[in-house]
Amino acid sequence: MIHYRLSQKFPHDSFLQVEILVKPSKADFEMKLPDWRPGRYQLGNFSKYLRNFKAFNKKGEAIDFQKTNKNTWKIYCEDEDCIIQYEIYTSTIDGGSTFVDEEHWYLNFINCMLYQTDEMHQTHEVQLDIPKDWTVACGLKKEGDNLVAESFYELVDSPVLAGKKLQHLEYNVEETNFHLWFRGNVDLKNKDQILDDFKKFTVLQMDTMSEFESSDYHFLFQIPDEKAYHGVEHLNSTCIVLGPAKEFNTETFYNNFLGISSHELFHYWNIIRIRPEEMYPYNFERENYFTTGYIAEGVTTYYGDLFLIRSGVKDLDWYMEEINILFKRHFENYGRFNTSVAESSWDLWLDGYEAGIPHRKVSIYVKGALIALILDLKIILESKGEMSLDDVMRKLWTDFYKKDKGYSQEDYLKTAEEVIGQELTEYSNKFISGCEPVENGLKDLLSQFGFEMELKINENPLTHHFGLKINEGAVVGIAPASPAEKAFRIGDKLISIDKQKFEEMEDAIQIGGDTSYTFQFFRNNNLIEVTLKTENGGFYSRYILKENNDIKEAEKLMRKKWLNV
């Protein structure tokens, strides 16, 4: 057993003190701090937050150690017990961070706990030195005052939210207790509505996937005063940070609250258990490159919203608006012509959570959701409503997770082919490995469910006619093959158009026709003047989803099979 003790020297301080009791199997052994965390496929370099590393024998005498790389310490101890001490700096709150102060502890063990690579499957026990009147919310089992994990993998997939002022709601589905824990200035005046909505989408998710292995599941909500939106999935819990708290009872906030919660709950099956082979098991020492992020995150993004309409929590108008949000994000990103969703998944480890250079990549969340939609509609139509993407996910559960193995991209496609009863090579080549426009697959499919895709031009005339995106006078986007590309670069500061100050005309720009315009802008403190012609326009256009006015009975039937409306 490895025993951890966590404490604070000063309750108001940002440092967390960690003490580890280890029983080494040999005189010289290594301790490591994970270099990334599941759910964020990007190196975290957590060791940069660690200071004051020390090691002692059971007599309390200092022993030798050596740091051998950025996150590894080699320790020399001839006793049966070794004590390791260090401090972790905590300063931010997001879905995967660790944060401590005098009011609460928010612990993601993945970024603050050292481990032995050859002892990851032994029992790990955690002692929290916190006030006696604090509540501890966590998916780990408790033995006395300690939290106990059967392995390091279980430990770091079981975050903790502890404090004196946690609010708690609870509901039950079948034999599982679901807990909602809230920290923040939250007025839960609509708690009955929350419980009703959560139970509805939970029931449907559990019914769809047929099996739920945990007796308890915890939603750990941090509701800060500032704006925030972040969630991370875990073994039998999820950490969600959503703000600002003052907007909690507004419609927009509540919709986001439901959406992210449904998304994270579906991760219980998809990625926590149904997992790519490259992460089975996780390797915390290096990047875990994989091409199937469109399944792990894209399919989950698709289902997060889908379960809300299918369960009756939200209506068709809401769902269409959510699809249109995905459309806007996808179609205004010219990276869709340059990088496939499989390549973008691989590059998560490079810049997947940054804006990156213009027009380089697509989002595995957004495009992944849209190609999941394509596959779902294809299966529903081909099977005349008897099967769907649900059957693919259930089959991945039984054929891979239940057999203790991960899946490959080929496994996913083969599973889908077995469900649909036809080859999906063309689908894969176009939408997974290639850059085929998704509208080429969606238009015909959606028409058979009583919907149409209508092309909508960008509302901003500068953007529509010149391919120029401006924010507070600065150039933030330039469409490829546009008039703007011939003269502008990101960061240029627009001053005037045809001698009229831009700041005075920004809300009422009148541009159109086959006309030339003279722009003045600053670049590196140099005033530049260029004349550009509008050409054809149509830059940063997007599709929107609309209902057909003359929907047919067959289309209504298919829509019912898809959306349950």
Domain spans of the chain? Answer: 2-162, 166-254, 269-451+550-565, 461-533
Domain 461-533 falls in which CATH fold? Pdz3 Domain (2.30.42)
pLDDT at 503: 82
Q: Give the pLDDT confidence of 384-437 residue by residue, as tens digits.
A: 999 999 999 999 999 999 999 999 999 999 999 999 999 999 999 999 999 999
CATH superfamily of 269-451+550-565: Neutral Protease Domain 2 (1.10.390.10)
- Give dist(CA 230, CA 228) in Å, integer: 7
Q: What is the mean pLDDT of residues 33-39?
A: 97
Q: What is the mean pLDDT of residues 361-381?
A: 98
pLDDT at 14: 97
The answer to whether residue 471 scores a pLDDT higher than 90 is: yes
The answer to whether residue 477 scores a pLDDT higher than 80 is: yes
Q: Which of 194, 148, 141, 203 is nearest to 175 (CA)?
A: 203
**At 276, which helix (H) or strand (E)?**
none
Q: What is the mean pLDDT of residues 161-183?
A: 97
The answer to whether residue 235 scores a pLDDT higher than 90 is: yes
pLDDT at 428: 98
- Give dist(CA 279, CA 23) in Å, integer: 28
Q: Give the pLDDT confidence of 95-147 residue by residue, as tens digits.
A: 999 999 999 999 999 999 999 989 999 999 999 999 999 999 999 999 999 99
Average pLDDT, the chain: 96
| DSSP-based three-state secondary structure for 528 | strand
Q: Which of 81, 104, 111, 142 is nearest to 18 (CA)?
A: 111
- Give dist(CA 480, CA 287) in Å, integer: 32
User: pLDDT band at 61, cuts 50/70/90?
Assistant: very high
Domain 2-162 falls in which CATH fold? Immunoglobulin-like (2.60.40)
Higher pLDDT, 512 or 295: 295
pLDDT at 508: 57
Could you check whether 166-254 and 269-451+550-565 share the same CATH topology? no
User: pLDDT band at 239, cuts 50/70/90?
Assistant: very high
Q: Which of 392, 385, 382 is nearest to 418 (CA)?
A: 392
- Give dist(CA 297, CA 313) in Å, integer: 22
Q: What are the E-state strand segments in 108-267?
A: 124-128, 135-138, 141-143, 146-149, 160-163, 167-173, 176-184, 216-223, 228-233, 237-243
The answer to whether residue 370 scores a pLDDT higher than 80 is: yes
pLDDT over 90 percentage in the chain: 93
Phi, psi of 355 (to 5 degrees): -60, -35
pLDDT at 507: 57
pLDDT over 70 percentage in the chain: 99
Q: Give the pLDDT confidence of 483-542 residue by residue, as tens digits.
A: 999 999 999 999 999 988 988 775 556 776 678 999 999 999 999 999 999 878 899 999
Q: Give the pLDDT confidence of 146-158 residue by residue, as tens digits.
A: 999 999 999 999 9
pLDDT at 506: 59
Task: Among 3.30.470, 1.10.150, 3.30.2010, 3.40.50, name the CATH number for the domain at 166-254.
Answer: 3.30.2010
User: pLDDT band at 257, cuts 50/70/90?
Assistant: very high
pLDDT at 210: 96
The answer to whether residue 555 scores a pLDDT higher than 60 is: yes
